Structure 1
Amino acid sequence: MRRSLALLPLLFAAAASAHITLETPQADAGSTYKGVLRVGHGCDGSPTTELRLIVPAGVEKLKPMPKAGWQLTVKKHKLAQPYDYYGEQVTEDVSEVSWSGGNLPEDFYDEFVFRARLPKTPGETLYFKVEQRCAKGETRWVDIPAAGQDAHDLPTPAAALKLTAPGEGHRH
């Protein structure tokens, strides 16, 4: 019994680190950001076969990195308010990215990468919702904490990115 109780904290630590997270959880508002989604497990022992990223409002010019062995699909939507990107008038932008057709076994870890321009709103937290599909089952990492709630208390939290004032965030 004592041995079981001694292992209990390790089980909670493993569960806490099991979420899909961003490698760099904060960045300068208005900056170009390299997002690295970290996938540490499948769905209850089943290998991951698809990862679908829902792009938060205000994120601009998202470009996913192709991944060997995976098919990359990008969906775009028309913007209600076009924006300027280095002299180009942008009228539609990426709303979803899907990496599919791969096979990430439960025993392995991998990363899925994208690059995007962030909104110019320091203090805001962006939530990148991710749907993880597996050979058997799926997990939707889409929960967003209510005001004052800790995301660690949620069963399937979305990956969070805190926007900081320029100069306060982590730079690459």
Structure 2
Amino acid sequence: MRSTTLRNITTRRTLATGLIGGAVLALAIPAMASAHVSVSPDELTAGDHGVLTFSFAHGCDNSPTTSLKVTMPEGLASVAPTMDSDWTIDIEKGDDGLVSAVTYTAVTPVPNELRGAVSMSVGLDEKTPSSLAFPVIQTCVDGSTEWTQLAQDGEDPHSLDAPAPVVEVAAAAADGHGEHDSADEAGDADDADSAAADESGASNALGTALGAGGLVAGVAALIVSVLAYRRKV
């Protein structure tokens, strides 16, 4: 009897340990996956322009971030950093007069648990390559991280330790309007409305299913209670 009790206690402890370990791992994996400097949007159209936002949600080994230096790739027709009261901006230019790098220095170091972001407007021309990599150096109160790695052919970018933010460049439309084509914008709006409607429908269906499940569970519990009571009587 004592042996059986000990085995039961051991089994419970092992199960509890496994559940705790799994929960910790589940929380750690998303944190590791998001630990990089990202760019949004990650796709633009050749000959067009857009605003790129570089964001991060961590420091260097938990040290607050003090600055981000973004180096410009070849193929950009123009670069205009966005003014922001949280950052001071230093612009470097090459011999051709074009912006070659932009350094954003935080007025107050960004704590590790807070998200930080900087942005800039960029212009593309018809000769812009199909992929633009923006190497970033993140400097912190203690240490720094160079987000400069690029995936080779066939290599998964997510496998890199410190990937550089990359923007893909789509070919311009035949009429030259790129992303500003009104028909495309109307289509995108319709798609967004349809997606919202689908999401709403799915949410309502889920709510109905959960409500029905709760009702069934309640009825089952009531039946079990009645049967138990009858046995006692």
Give the TM-score range, shorter chain: 0.7 to 0.9
The alignment-based identity, stated in percent, is: 28
The alpha-carbon deviation at position 18 of structure 1 amounts to 1.3
Alignment correspondent of 1:155: 161
Contact kept? 2:81, 2:119, Cα under 8 Å: yes
Structure 1 Cα separation of the partners of residues 170 and 118 of structure 2: 23
Structure 2 residue 124 is the aligned partner of structure 1 residue 107: no
Give 5+ residue unaligned stretches, structure 1: 80-91
* Structure 2 counterpart of 1:59, from 76, 79, 94: 76
Contact kept? 1:24, 1:170, Cα under 8 Å: no
Structure showing greater Rg: 2
Partner secondary structure for residue 43 of structure 1: coil
Alignment correspondent of 2:29: 12
* Structure 2 counterpart of 1:33, from 50, 57, 67: 50
Alignment correspondent of 2:142: 136
Partner secondary structure for residue 162 of structure 1: strand
Two-structure CA RMSD over aligned residues (Å): 2.1
Contact kept? 1:26, 1:163, Cα under 8 Å: yes
| Structure holding more strand per residue | 1
Structure 1 Cα separation of the partners of residues 154 and 127 of structure 2: 19
| Structure holding more helix per residue | 2
Relative to the length of structure 2, the TM-score reads 0.63
Partner secondary structure for residue 78 of structure 1: coil
Partner secondary structure for residue 31 of structure 2: helix
Structure 1 Cα separation of the partners of residues 56 and 127 of structure 2: 28
Aligned residue-pair number: 159
Larger RCO (alpha carbons 8 Å, 6+ apart): 1
* Structure 2 counterpart of 1:97, from 80, 83, 102: 102
Give 5+ residue unaligned stretches, structure 2: 1-16, 186-233
